[in-house]
Amino acid sequence: MNIKMLLLVVFISFFANAQEKMNVKGQSFSATQPYTFVCEKYAYTGEAEIQIAKTDKGGILKITVATANDQVKILGGLYVDLANADVIACVDKNVKESADGKTSAFYYFTPAEFAKLKKTDIYAVRFILKGGSDTFSSQTGYFTAHNKKNYFSTVYDQSKKSFDTAKEISVL
């Protein structure tokens, strides 16, 4: 009986520690897994990585995009489109980081906006890339990253084709 209890405690502690973390300005927050959303019009990679974290004052969205050079940044406002057609507008607070050919930006949610994210899946994230333009730089402009797991699927594929963002956010 004691061995079963020990295994149960080890099992629970393993999954409790397996939760993702997000670091912003030296602080660590519990977060969802990073979701790779499909961004069809961004020809460089066609992907944007989205991650949501819970804070004491609401939440944080981290968006990361691979770029060809360090001049390209995610700038300006960002819109989070929800599956129920609601939209959350996020203001750029100029919290950014760049490393390893990727640029990231952080956007903050109020407690009311974070409550919406707990109830409804994210449908898409609209963002702006700005930077220097030369022959071999990344694209710049307006982009939409859709909550899709794959670019293509067949009619016969019955698996869920998007991420359950609301379910994971509500666990935070």
Encode pLDDT of 34-55 as tens digits.
Answer: 999 999 998 889 999 999 999 9
Mean pLDDT of the chain: 85
Average pLDDT of span 101-108: 94
C-alpha span between 169 and 19 (Å, rounded): 12
Tokens of 19: 């939760």
Pairing of strands 27-31, 35-38: unpaired
Average pLDDT of span 151-167: 78
**Per-residue pLDDT at 149:** 83
51 inside domain: yes
**Per-residue pLDDT at 159:** 73
- Cβ atoms 89, 146 nearer than 8 A: no
13 inside domain: no
Average pLDDT of span 63-68: 93
Per-residue pLDDT of 20-34, as tens digits, reads: 899 898 899 999 999
| Residue-number span of the structural domain to which 135 is assigned | 20-171
Average pLDDT of span 139-166: 82
C-alpha span between 44 and 40 (Å, rounded): 10
What letter represents residue 10's amino acid? V
Here the CATH number for the domain that contains residue 33 is: 2.60.40
14 inside domain: no
Scan for tokens 């640029």, then name that residue.
103
Domain count, the chain: 1
Question: Which one, of 66, 61, 74, lies nearest residue 48 by Cα?
Answer: 66
- Report pTM: 0.83
